[in-house]
Structure formats: structure tokens, C-alpha cells
Amino acid sequence: MIMLLLLAGGTAGIAIYYQQRLRQQEITLQSRIRSLSNENEILARELQSMKVLMGKDAEQRRIEKQVSSIRGLVFKKPVRYQRITRKELPAYLIQELRSEYTEQEFKQYLESLAVMGFLPRDIDLEKLLVDLLGEQVAAFYDPKRGELFTFETFDLNRLSDQVIYAHEVTHALQDQNFDLNNSTPILKKDNDDRVMAAKALIEGDATLLMNLYLMGNFDPVKFFSQDLFYMLGQPVEKLASAPAYLRESLLFAYQQGQLFCGRLFDEGGFARIDEAFHNLPESTEQILHPEKYLQKIDPPVEVSWPPLPIQGWEKIGDNVAGELGIRLLLAGELPAAQANQAAEGWGGDRYQVYRVIAPDGRETRPRLPPSAASRGSTGSEKFAIVWWSLWDTEKDAREFFKAYTSLYVKRNGLLPVDQSGENNAVLLSCGGRQQSFVLKGKSVLILDVPASKDAEALLNFLWQKKSEK
């Protein structure tokens, strides 16, 4: 019995042994199957990715070919493409900003815009720009690097992304044919008006072509079932909440730029737009009123003056507002129709913003008007503004003179100024400074300075220099 038992026991033991071996082999095989399955999934994804990339390359070439055909320009070399993630975009934008402005230059630029009243004082402009562009940028072309960037979610199976792609490819085409960085003033720092005019041509051209591409490739079923909902789902909160000057300046290049390029296109197709790249619009006035550009009438007048005879002032801003800038500035407090009317007839301008050096030699930051101070200034800084504008007619000059006086009075909570007569000068004392708004013929001179003696000295100096020209 024992042997049997043992045999029986052995038989049972053998059975158990083999059951354990089989179980281990089953576990091993299952693990191997899972591993192979994972590898298969990885290979399948890589294969699909390769198919997508191959398809994307084919779609890129198709769009490039169509854009080239519509635009009537040829690519001189292959377009270089880069992929970027949304998380990588802020660092890229900051790097680009720092390559154009030093930290000090950008700080002074922001201060001068705030002192002039274009922007509120309490904003972090760098962060605002990065956040705003991070929300709004769908793809972008970098003329410095000659590369077109798209994001990880970019899908050329969507018509909306094809349209965006066509827009950016147009920029590559422009760059290869017109050399955007070296033949346009887009990097100019002392004439925002001229920069915005050039950008309006560049973006208006691409926006016009983008719409022509859409018309030629429109699939209503696909668009209304896919693209429309995708487009409506894009965020706009940062754009909607941005200061009006910043928001409208950004949109101007696309919206008004397309209308400007559309007018050129009606005159002579894309060949007429090509001519514009060789004879750039010089002002936002020409973008807003294309007939002035087409008829070559009323070019902007360059406004300048010698160094001011005032000791202890450091210049931190030197720029041109232009018709668009003046329109947006006035629209901050006045009805849009009045602001637009007062900005029309612009002939040229220049403003300079100064930091006033304290008597002990210390530099101070610009002290803003009460309106700006209430939006975040500490009120402990000192500044000076000299703004000289020229107008097409004396009537145009008077309209701006009255509108700006109304703007300043309203912003700073002052008693209304009687402008019913032919008054040619408004003298105010606000925020511990002296304001002098003077109308003389087709010129308007605006001074906002620390002391009345400064205003008197500058008025005499500037009018004398004007009469000498």
C-alpha cells in the first residue's frame, strides 16, 4: 500500500508537478502574448503615424502647389517645417521678443505707451502678449529662421487647418520672393504706424489668399459637420479681455489689411499686390483709405525736431501714433464715430516721452496722469510728453484739437472746457503738472510737463524750429 500509495502519491505528485509547470508556461505564454500585443500596437501606431506623415507630406505639397498657383509666385526653395507643442510656445515667444527688444527697451516701450494713454499702467505686457498669442496662434511662420511652425494638434484632414496652412505658406512664399525681414520695416522701433501698415499688407495678402483657397476647396458637408464646430470651440477669452489698443492693433493687420489688399486685387490682381511689396504703404492712413495709396496722394509727413533745450529729461519713448493709433486712443473715451472723424485728415505726427530726473540726480519712473494712475500707477513718478501732429487742413487740425481736449478732460475728471468758439489753446494744471494743448494752423502741439516754465520754453523752441523749416 505504501508503494502504491507512494506510487499513487508519486502519480499524484507528478500530476501536480506537471500542473504547476503547465501553469507557469501558461503565465509565461500569456505574458509573451501581452508583450507581443503591445509591440504590435506600437508598430501599428508607428505605421499609422508614418502613413499620416506621408499623407501630410503629400497634403503639404498639394497646398503649396495650389497656393503658388493662386498667388502667382513660385517657391525658390523647399519650405522648412517644424512641429511645436502648445507648452513650448511661451518660451519660444519670449525668446523672439527678447531677440527684438532688450529688457530695458521693452520696459521703456511699455512705459511710454502707458504714459500716452494707449495702455493701462498695471499690466505685464510680456505675459499678456504671450498668453494672448498662446491662445490665438494657430500656426506661424518665422521669417528670421525661414521655418513654418505647426502644433501637435494640427490636422490637415480638417479644412480649417488647411486654410490656416495656406495662410502661413503664403508668408513663406512672400519671404522667399520679397525678403520680409530686410525689405519691410516690421522690426522698426520708432514708427509703430509704419510697422502696422507693412504688417497689414503682409497679413492682408495672406488672408485674401486664404479665403480664395477656402472658396476653391469648400466642402459644405465636411465644413458644417466637422470644421465649424471645431472653429467655434476655439478659445477667445484672452483676446476679448485684452486692452482695446492691443486687441484692435493685432486684428487691424488681418481685417483692414484684407480690405486694403482686396482693393489692390480689384485694381490689378495679385500683380498689383506684388507691386505694393516693392512700394510699401507708409501709414495706417493709407491702409484705412486705400485710394490715398493707389492715387499716390497725401503721403505721411515726417515730423521731427532737434534735441530739446531741457536739462534732466531722459527720453524713453519716440514713436508715431498715426491715424489708427489716434483713432484707438480717442475711442477709449469718445464715441467711435467721433474718434474716427477726428483721426481722419492725419498728415503726420511724432510723440516723445521723457523720464524726468530728480533734482538729486536720481532717475524716476514716469508719473502718469490721474486716469492712468488709477489703473495701477503709484503716482510717485514724473514724466513729460511732447506730441506734435500735422493735419491735412486747418479743419482737420481743429477737430483733433477739440477731440483730444475732450478726451483728456474726461479721463482726468476735469471740468469741461468751453470749445464753442475759436479757442486755439487750452492750458490745464492736472496731477501736479502743466498741460498745454495748442492749435496753430494745421499743427497741434500737446505738452504735458512738470512745470509751466518747461511748457513756455518748449512752446517757444518748437514753434521757432517749425518756422525755420
pLDDT of residue 397: 97
> Is 192 inside a domain boundary?
yes
Residue 190 is which amino acid? D
Residue with cell 513650448: 88
d(CA 347, CA 349): 7
pLDDT the model gives residue 223: 75
Q: In the predicted model, what is the mean pLDDT of residues 112-125?
A: 92
How deeply is 193 buried, as exposed, middle or buried, from its count of CB atoms within 10 A (0-12, 13-18, 19+)? buried
Assign 78 a pLDDT band (cuts: 50, 70, 90): very high
Q: Greater confidence, 255 or 372?
A: 255
Looking at per-residue confidence, does 1 or 361 come out higher? 361
Residue 147 has pLDDT above 60, yes or no: yes
pLDDT score, position 297: 92
Q: Which strand (E) or helix (H) includes residue 404?
A: helix 394-411
Last residue of one domain, picked from the residues 242, 259, 294: 294
User: 241 and 148 share a domain?
Assistant: yes
pLDDT (average), residues 159-172: 94
| 458 contact partners, CB below 8 Å, separation of at least 6 | 308, 310, 386, 447, 449
Are both 397 and 361 inside the same structural domain? yes
Indicate if 272 and 367 belong to the same structural domain.
Answer: no
Instruction: Name the more confident of 101 and 12.
Output: 101
* Mean pLDDT value of segment 422-443: 89
Final residue in a domain of this structure, among 239, 262, 294: 294
Per-residue pLDDT at 421:
67
CB-CB contact of 228 with 170 (8 Å) = no
Q: Which domain holds residue 368?
A: 313-468
Report pLDDT for 314. Answer: 94
pLDDT of 52: 43
Give yes or no: residues 248 and 386 share one domain. no
% the chain with pLDDT above 70: 80
Domain assignment of residue 366, yes or no: yes
Question: Collapsing DSSP states into helix, strand and coil, what is residue 37?
Answer: helix
Does residue 275 sit in the same domain as residue 409? no
Rg over alpha carbons for the chain, rounded to the nearest Å, is 32
Question: 255 and 322 share a domain?
Answer: no
Between the CA of residue 201 and those of 72, 129, 176, 325, what are the distances in Å? Answer: 17, 22, 16, 17
* Domain total in the chain: 2
Whether residues 274 and 416 share a domain: the answer is no
Instruction: Please report whether residue 414 resides in a domain.
Output: yes
Q: What is the pLDDT of residue 27?
A: 59
Q: Are residues 359 and 270 in the same domain?
A: no
Residues facing residue 314 across a β-bridge: 355
Residue 199 and residue 186: Cα distance in Å, rounded? 7
Hey, what amino acid is at 303? Answer: V
134, 276: one domain: yes
Query: Is the domain of 462 the same as that of 378?
Result: yes
Residue 19 confidence (pLDDT): 43
* Whether residue 68 has pLDDT greater than 60: yes
Determine the Cα–Cα distance for residues 330 and 337; give it in Å rounded to an integer: 10
Are residues 425 and 317 part of one domain? Answer: yes
- Give the Cα separation of 185 and 199 in Å (integer): 9
Residue at 26 is within a domain: no
Confirm if 317 and 108 have CB atoms less than 8 A apart: yes
Residue 414 banded pLDDT, cuts 50, 70, 90: confident
* Band of residue 14 on the pLDDT scale cut at 50, 70, 90: very low
Query: Any alpha helices (H) in 415-451, and if so which ranges?
Result: none
Bigger pLDDT: 93 or 11? 93
pLDDT above 60: residue 44:
no
Contacts of 257 (CB under 8 A, 6+ apart): 199, 200, 201, 202, 203, 204, 205, 207, 287
Q: Is residue 44 part of a domain?
A: no
pLDDT of residue 380: 40
Band (351; pLDDT cuts 50, 70, 90):
very high
In a domain, 55, yes or no: no
Averaged pLDDT for residues 349-366: 73
Residues 309-314 have a mean pLDDT of: 90
Q: Is the pLDDT of residue 32 over 70?
A: no
Whole-angstrom CA distances from 3 to 8, 12, 13, 14 are: 8, 13, 14, 15
- Residue 12: its pLDDT value, please? 32
| pLDDT the model gives residue 18 | 33
pLDDT digits (tens, 9 = 90+) for 249-300: 999 999 999 999 999 999 999 999 999 999 999 999 999 999 999 999 999 9
> pLDDT band for position 36 (50/70/90)?
low
* The pLDDT of residue 41 is above 70: no
As beta bridge partners, residue 38 has: none
pLDDT, residue 429, reads 86
More confident: 386 or 24: 386
More confident residue, 362 or 319: 319
DSSP 223: I
The pLDDT mean for the chain works out to: 84
Q: Which backbone phi and psi does 433 adopt, to 5 degrees?
A: -135, 175
Instruction: Please tell me whether residues 283 and 342 are part of one structural domain.
Output: no
Please determine, for residue 395, whether its predicted confidence score (pLDDT) is greater than 60. yes
Q: State yes or no: pLDDT of 230 exceeds 80.
A: no
| pLDDT in the model for residue 57 | 83
- Give the pLDDT band of residue 34 (cuts 50, 70, 90): low
pLDDT of residue 402: 95
